[in-house]
Amino acid sequence: MKKIIVAVAASVAIMASVMSMHLFAAEDYIIQKGDNLWDISDSKLDDTLLWPKLWNVNPEIENPDLIYPGTRIRIPSPEELQQISPVPLKKKKRRVKKAEPKHIFKQKYIISRDLFISSGWIAKEFPGIGMVKHEARGSEIAGEGEIVYLQLEEGGSPGSYIAIRNARTVKHPVTGELIGYQVKVTGILEATGMDGNLTKALITTSYDDVEVGNAILPYTPVDPPLIQENPRRPDMSGYVISSHTTGHISGEGDVIFLDKGESDGLKVGDVFSAITDSPVERIDGELQVISLRPTTASAVLLSSNQEITIGSKWGQPKK
């Protein structure tokens, strides 16, 4: 009888162990809005203190405080996690190409190619011939060297594209008039083929995270303007209406946007001063036009001895 009780107890223990292993079997999980690794560890592993190990086995997560809906992660069993270091050994870094922020006169160009492309432009209507539909791993964001799938209006074709997003709605700082939308380039993509009705593309250069929902435009390689020996200094003036930075303050090497364009007589290479005229006129820096739209322009701050803000005046100083 005693042997029977011991056998039954052993069977119950084995069944409990099997049930426990089944309950906490390894699985894939799609991040939902509002999720964090602490709560996922609690709901999926029944132990909140396992979240550092959960972070470690998912190298696509750079920052445990920044996880994005749609990202697929692997949740090992507690038994597997017990064998894993709680401190990430080496987190995978998303390869984002940082645009060179400083103006360097030793170069033959007014501005670096990366900053020239990534800073974008202001458009009256936000453009696009399609969008980034999804990322190969199921994430909401992607970086250089990763694959995304594009949904294009007229089907896919081989070639280069840029991914763009709306950085902000631009209104004139003085009149309040709607000027348009600031287009920021997040990356350059190369179409590699079709997958069903979607175009498969490789991100060859990323200036920021390429996100699901980014709009798509065809891309033709273009060089920034050359440094001119004797640039024009036309007698024109206006206001700074936006900046390529996320804030409202710009400094030397940053790209700013002006409320005048090609139809107003501006030309690429024109040089102006950033001016404060109250209570007395003061020159706060120097800027040079690098690209034109009909009614707006972008310019690089060649120098600044004062922070330039949206609403700052530009023009030629009084003689």
Question: Do 258 and 205 sit in the same domain of this protein?
Answer: no
Question: Do 213 and 289 sit in the same domain of this protein?
Answer: no
User: In this structure, how many other beta carbons lie within 10 angstroms of the beta carbon of residue 253?
Assistant: 19
pLDDT value at residue 102: 46
Which of 162, 187, 218 finishes a domain? 218
pLDDT value at residue 137: 84
103 domain residue, yes or no: no
Question: Do 173 and 242 sit in the same domain of this protein?
Answer: no
User: What single letter denotes the amino acid at residue 19?
Assistant: M
pLDDT value at residue 275: 92
94 domain residue, yes or no: no
Question: Do 214 and 252 sit in the same domain of this protein?
Answer: no
Q: Quote the number of domains for the chain.
A: 3
> How many Å is the Cα radius of gyration of the chain?
27
pLDDT value at residue 247: 67
pLDDT value at residue 32: 82
CB within 8 A of 284, min separation 6: which ones?
A: 273, 274, 275, 276, 304, 305, 306, 308, 312
pLDDT value at residue 259: 97
pLDDT value at residue 156: 67
Quick one: which of 47, 48, 51, 44 has its CA closest to 87? 51
Low-confidence ranges of the chain (pLDDT < 70): 1-25, 65, 85-107, 156, 246-247, 319
User: In this structure, how many other beta carbons lie within 10 angstroms of the beta carbon of residue 223?
Assistant: 10
pLDDT value at residue 57: 84
95 domain residue, yes or no: no
CB within 8 A of 151, min separation 6: which ones?
A: 130, 131, 133, 197, 198, 199
Question: Do 164 and 205 sit in the same domain of this protein?
Answer: yes
108 domain residue, yes or no: no
248 domain residue, yes or no: yes
Judge whether 232 and 271 are in contact, CB under 8 Å: yes
Which of 81, 98, 130 finishes a domain? 81
Question: Do 191 and 269 sit in the same domain of this protein?
Answer: no
| H or E segment to which residue 14 belongs | helix 2-23
Question: Do 171 and 117 sit in the same domain of this protein?
Answer: yes
Which of 35, 60, 81 finishes a domain? 81
Q: Is the dihedral of CA 107, 112, 113, 117 positive or negative?
A: negative
Q: How far apart are CA 226 and CA 215, in angstroms?
A: 29
Q: Domain containing 170 — which CATH number? A: 2.40.30
Question: Do 123 and 60 sit in the same domain of this protein?
Answer: no
207 domain residue, yes or no: yes
Cα–Cα distances (Å) from 125 to 72, 101, 128, 166, 178, in that order, read: 35, 28, 10, 10, 11
pLDDT value at residue 165: 95
DSSP notation for 239-291: EEEEESSSSSEE-TT-EEEES--GGGT--TT-EEEEEE-SSS-EEEEEEEEEE
Question: Do 121 and 205 sit in the same domain of this protein?
Answer: yes
40 domain residue, yes or no: yes
Quick one: which of 293, 245, 294 has its CA closest to 121? 293
100 domain residue, yes or no: no
Question: Do 301 and 245 sit in the same domain of this protein?
Answer: yes
Question: Do 251 and 193 sit in the same domain of this protein?
Answer: no
**Range of 127's domain?**
113-218
Question: Do 207 and 281 sit in the same domain of this protein?
Answer: no
Judge whether 317 and 287 are in contact, CB under 8 Å: no
- Judged by phi (left if over 0) then psi (alpha if -120 to 50, else beta), residue 39 lies in alpha
pTM for the full predicted model:
0.67
